[in-house]
């Protein structure tokens, strides 16, 4: 069985312009650098947005658990494990809810970035992925 080379021809979709064209004409090192930068920024964006949302979830959690006056009187979460500024701990589950909530609430930010990467064609196209899977399954069968 003859294997086809992994070549991706950019074809315009209906109603969408093919932009930018310079991604197709870049030399190999520059194209790799752009992909490394794009995926590296995805990791930075994920952790930064999660951290920002994690910090902002402190007020609603303290206000819900201890009342709205507790936060305005200076009660803060100071430890990683839910230790409060007055020495108490958050009730069981609230620190986990804060972590899961920060992940869920930061999802629109980094999923939007992934959509931008897909628009610019920086995500692996389906055709290349199918060829890669076909090569892997043929090498496993041999």
Residue ranges covered by each domain of the chain: 29-141
pLDDT reported for residue 52: 94
Q: What are phi and psi of 139, to 5 degrees?
A: -75, -30
Position 27 confidence tier, pLDDT thresholds 50, 70, 90: low
pLDDT of residue 29: 66
Distance CA 70, CA 132 (A): 57
């Amino acid at each position: 069985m003859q294997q086809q080379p992994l070549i991706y021809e950019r074809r315009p979709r209906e109603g969408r312009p093919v932009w930018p064209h310079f991604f197709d004409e870049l030399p190999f090192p520059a194209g790799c650098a752009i992909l490394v930068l794009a995926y590296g920024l995805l990791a930075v964006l994920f952790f930064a947005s999660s951290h920002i949302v994690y910090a902002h979830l402190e007020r609603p959690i303290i206000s819900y658990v201890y009342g709205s006056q507790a936060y305005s009187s200076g009660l803060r979460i100071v430890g990683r494990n839910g230790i409060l500024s007055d020495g108490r701990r958050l009730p069981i589950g609230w620190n986990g809810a804060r972590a899961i909530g920060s992940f869920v609430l930061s999802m629109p930010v980094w999923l939007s970035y992934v959509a931008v990467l897909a628009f610019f064609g920086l995500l692996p196209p389906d055709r290349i992925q199918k060829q890669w899977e076909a090569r892997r399954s043929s090498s496993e069968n041999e």
